Structure 1
Amino acid sequence: MRVDASGPEDNANAESSARRKNMVPWTERFSYSLSDFACNLSFSLISTYLMFFYTDVFGIGAAAVGTLFLVARIVDAFDGPFWGIMIDHTHTRWGKSRPYWLWFSIPFAVFSVLCFSAPDMSMGMKIVWAYVTYIGVDILYSAVNIPITSILPSLTSNPQERVTLSTIRQFMGTLGATIISAIALPMVAFFGKGSTTSAHGWFMVALIMAVIAMIIFFVVFANTKERVQTVQSKKSIPILTSLKALKKNWPWVIVIFINFIYWLGMQTRSQVTVYFFKYNMHDATLASFILSLQLVALAAVVVTPWTSKKIGKRNTMLLGMILAILGQLILWGGSKALNVPTITIGTIVGYLGTGFVSGLIAVMLADSVDYGEWKNGVRAEGIVTSFSSFSAKFGMGIGGAVTGIILSAGGYVANHVQTAEALRAIEMNYVWVPIIGFGLSAIALLFYKVDKIEPKMLADLDAKHARENAAAKDAGNN
């Protein structure tokens, strides 16, 4: 009979070795990255163009739209954590996070199309329609988007592999957003017989993108695997227990704040881009060109694993925030001179900065899952990462509300020559609100210290998991 003489230290060494070798195959890496590509095909269309669709196509006032976005964020205060708790209570043969792509991709696609439908009805019913369809797509977006982040700690326990996965995911996500930015208005004009305010044109674009996204989600479901399984992760975690993972989890608090304020600034800029070039620059077609420059962010995304390895994740993101602020200032100078080349340069610099930022948020949240377990003994991937979607959407919603309030206060009137006050309101949303968001994010990053303690944290978790697995094995043998 063979006697297993290995002890906890041997098990810890074996698990540490497994962590180093815990690499994800390229087929799975690419499939995982397609999740963000699919999300952005539909949701970037919504986040970038829905306000324009509501005001200039569907005929709803800017203030009413801003209120809608704010109300939707109140709903998000519940739906984000709800999906996180559901993930923590989900145990299927497919895993905890993967099934949500199978179950909710079709409903998400349906509501994505309904958002860009413009039925002929009274103004009151139009507002009701907008509330039902937008809040509906928002809830369903959480159902397919939160698993993208919650599954990351389960795909690999290798810290650098997480950066690689998140980088590839962000590359594809940015590519999806760039494609939408570049082709949405031309496609609308094509289906709308030359008009960018054609209701039929917007419906057709939303339909095409939703169908493509739905098919991609099925591919992601089929080709990913939740391979990191701890004793705790195989059990349903009571709600109160899962909330303990957030106790004194300061890295999580910082990342959630950054996710909120960063996306608030990004949303105000993206959703007034069409307004800015249509009214301030007198050429709406430039919006597609400027938005397509998101492609340059891919250069920063590609080098993010290298920079995070050399200078740390915190410093890489901080560099991104500084570049984003610099880009906005250059853009402002170009807007005052109505100089398109200067605006283009500022946009490129800004997108390089945001390329460093967006790829690391999910990695830092995955790290906060580890930190919560390290500090509090509770590993709750669902509840910890669910606040990523909540904070981002809350920031985007507040950004939408701020945009509507500023436009309304400036006297914006759709499809009319704008007053000087209205033009300044558009500029405020396009230039200065994003600068405030990037600046506050940079300040918050100064308090992020996980990079320094990560080696000890991971070593301690390796030992903890080895002890748990050994105990579970002994209990099984008995």
Structure 2
Amino acid sequence: MNKPWQTKWPERISYGLSDAADNLVFQMMTTYLLFFYTDVYGLSASAAAILFIVARLADVVESLIIGLMIDRTHSKWGKSRPFFLWYALPYVIFAILTFVTPPFGDTGKLIWAYVTYLGLGFFYTAVNLPITSILPTMTQNESEMTLLGVIRQFGGSSVQIIVAVFTLPLVAFFGHGNQQQGFLLTIALFGLISLVLILNTFIHVRERFTNPEKSHQSWSAVSKMLRQNKPWLVISTVILLYWLTTAIKNQTTIYYFKYIQHSEKLVPLANGFTFAALIGVVLIIKGADIWGKKATMQRGILTAGSGQLVLTLGVMTNQLGIIFAGILLNAVGGGLIIGLVSIMIADTIRYGMALGIQAEGILASTDDFGVNVGLGLGGLVTAGLFHLSGYVANHQQNVATQHTIILNYAWIPLTLYIVMFVVLWFYNEKELQATIKGA
């Protein structure tokens, strides 16, 4: 029999707003930072590509460090919860500094970009990873855990849409033609809202279920559990592939409409169709109950891939209506995928506990690990291919660059959805649930 519910609505909403807070900055990073660096800040595509891969390599290490820090934290607030308090302000400060354009020469600006972006990556991990690690400690009710995961993703996806749709209009409003000023004031607004929401999460959420005998284990014991936790390995790979796909597609969107459709103003309209992700997120509750989480995510990948196929057909026929329809269908599938990530990671944490080790920090770090590696590789692929094709900012692009933009926007994401579906096939949900219930 399922356990009673432990959380109330103020706590559930506050938990969901944590992801909303992080996405205010995170979506600026994934969708507009490459464009900001190349077309506003003044970095070359090659310099931006190197910066992105260095930052993501650093973030891979940082994800593991933050995960270990959580697993070794002893405080009156718990293991994950205090990270919201300790790192919220530094996170927002570095977010704002990342979009400052200092009056330096090329070398000075490059150094500034490295310092601020690397710092932002560290503090993003410090406030985002605990959102995942704290979930299985909030409740032991599986249905409640699914609800909390859905509320979290609903908050995150809602803000993702807000950032995608309103960033460029806000940049124009605040900048009055000066994009450097516009981007800076926009991120300052998003950052301040983010700070309030993160602190609100700290105030309202609670860690209720920690087993002292299974927590704070030696690294040798934890590493042995990780090798045995095959569901964790599979879902970690899926997360990486999802964010690789998302990074390549999202970063290329503004280039596609600016240089292929010759209308940068279409970007907010195109991104507006991503509101459909909320439909996918809401469908998770019913889908997980009927089909299970794995089958629901598989349906999400098929839906997202189908949308990407429609988008590709629209790109090849140069039909905006078909492109927008593809974006909408893709977003529904994306909502199903990303909404299930934290829930399925929570299951792998519970599976680890069934194996005798409570290491929510290191297991949850796979979420940020996948995000960071995916974004890093995505940034490298996008900026690197642009550089190889001869991309020149704010100029008419040559034929090779136009083909590269289309490749990144349409064909590469379509291929990656197929790979993602194949990898998820190896996720053994029946064995995972049987082990959890038998513990």
Instruction: Look up the match of 1:465.
Output: none
**Conserved in 1, the CA contact under 8 Å of 2:354 and 2:435?**
yes
* 2: CA distance, partners of 1:232 / 1:180: 43
Paired residue for 1:239, among 219, 240, 243?
219
CA distances 1:219-245 after superposition (whole Å, capped 9, x unpaired)? 000000111122335x53333333233
1:202 aligned onto 2:190: no
Question: What is the CA–CA distance in structure 1 between the aligned matches of 2:221 and 2:331, rounded to whole Å?
Answer: 40
Alignment equivalent of 1:327, drawn from 307, 314, 323:
307
In structure 2, how many angstroms separate the alpha carbons of the residues matched to 1:456 and 1:448? 14
CA contact (8 A) 2:216 2:359 kept: no
For 1:39 and 1:108, how far apart are their aligned partners in 2? 9
1:280 to 2:263 alignment: no
Count of residues in correspondence between the two structures: 439
8 Å contact 1:244–1:378 — kept in the other structure?
A: no
Partner Cα separation in structure 2 for residue 145 and residue 50 of structure 1: 19
Q: Which runs of 5+ in 2 are unaligned?
A: none
- Offset of residue 272 of structure 1: 1.2
TM-score normalized with structure 1 length: 0.90
Matched AA of 1:403: T
Corresponding residue number in structure 2 for 1:293: 273
Partner of residue 410, structure 1: 389
Whether 2:101 is the aligned partner of 1:122: answer no
Give the 3-state SS of the residue equivalent to 2:228 in structure 1: coil
Q: Which runs of 5+ in 1 are unaligned?
A: 1-16, 462-478
SS in 2 for 1:414: coil
Query: Residue 221 of structure 1 corresponds to which residue in structure 2?
Result: 202
Q: TM-score, normalised by structure 2?
A: 0.97
Q: In the alignment, which residue of structure 1 is the partner of 2:282? A: 302
User: Is residue 381 of structure 1 aligned with residue 360 of structure 2?
Assistant: yes
Pairing of 1:326-365 with structure 2 (within 5 A) = 326-365=306-345
Q: Does 1:431 align with 2:410?
A: yes
- Give the conservation status (yes or no) of the 8 Å contact 1:101–1:218: yes
| Partner Cα distance (1:74, 1:46) in 2 | 16
Structure 2 counterpart of 1:167, which letter? V
Q: Which has more radius of gyration?
A: 1
* Counterpart position of 2:248: 268
The answer for the alignment partner of 1:135 in structure 2 is 118
The aligned residue for residue 313 of structure 1 is: 293
Within 1, Cα distance between the matches of 2:309 and 2:160? 23
The farther-off stretch of 431-440 and 262-271 is 431-440
Q: Is the 8 Å Cα contact of residues 245 and 380 (structure 1) preserved in structure 2?
A: no
Deviation of 1:26 after TM superposition, in Å, equals: 1.2
Q: Which moved more, 1:87-96 or 1:141-150?
A: 87-96
Within 1, Cα distance between the matches of 2:189 and 2:272? 19
Q: 1:147 aligns with which of 127, 130, 136?
A: 130
Q: Deviations over 1:166-217 (max 9, x none)?
A: 111101100011111111000100111145xx10111000111111101110
AA matched with 1:282: H
Shift of 1:247: 2.1
Correspondent of 1:184 among 150, 161, 167:
167
Give 1:254's aligned residue. Answer: 234
2:57–2:376: 8 Å Cα contact kept in structure 1?
A: no
Asked if residue 460 in structure 1 is aligned to residue 438 in structure 2, the reply is yes
Give the Å deviation of 1:455.
4.4
C-alpha displacement at 1:158, in angstroms? 1.5
**Range with bigger deviation, 67-76 or 79-88:** 67-76
